[in-house]
Structure 1
Amino acid sequence: MSRIPPSMTTLIGQFLAVVDAYQAAKERSSDSHLSTLLFNDGKSIGRLRAGKDLHTRSFENGMRWLSANWPEDAVWPAGIVRPKAEPTGSARPARRTSRVAA
């Protein structure tokens, strides 16, 4: 039985494992560039690596984006559930919205 590394037992650990595999397959995708594509914020992945948190909806949108844009020749990390393919164009980065009192 293979042992799961402790970093893979959290959702953020799993997310970062997928990010790392994506970046390795793309060879030139920095944290800030990928973070901008996923979250419209170039610092989000760096904050996750520093131990910060992520909203559930942002996590789900990021995982869907990675799944929809996964390089054909790359292997999705073992032990991490891959989101099902969404119809073309539906995997979009999380958007920040400001709430304004009416």
Structure 2
Amino acid sequence: MAASRPRRTTGDPRRGVEAEAELPFAALHQLLYSLLPRSAGLDEGHRAVFDVVFGLRDCKAPSVMTLGIAVLDLLSLAAAEQPLLLLLDDGQWMDAPAPRCAGSWGAGSPAAP
């Protein structure tokens, strides 16, 4: 039996930027930018959510819960490939919608073992 190799963790450090504090979803874009190519693996509804919040589609902004679910699905896709760690520095410069969305990620989610 071959010895199992430890899985590498993807670290993705990001910084809050004062100049972007007034731009809706700027912090979320910073956090998820490197993962966005994986959004092709999401269903059309969740891809559309990202297109709207990142300005690629002109529609009404989704609810925090809808966005939170799309983000969780994207994070799940990325974490299925390898462990994932998101880090944010200078969080006080996050735009207003980002912390509300991030708060929904843990709401009702089982704790990781």
Q: Same fold (TM over 0.5)?
A: no
- For the aligned pair, the TM-score class normalised by the smaller chain equals 0.3 to 0.5
User: What TM-score do the two structures reach when normalised by structure 2?
Assistant: 0.42
Structure number with the bigger relative contact order (C-alpha 8 A, sep ≥ 6) is: 2
Larger Rg: 2
The structure richer in strand per residue is 2
User: What TM-score do the two structures reach when normalised by structure 1?
Assistant: 0.45
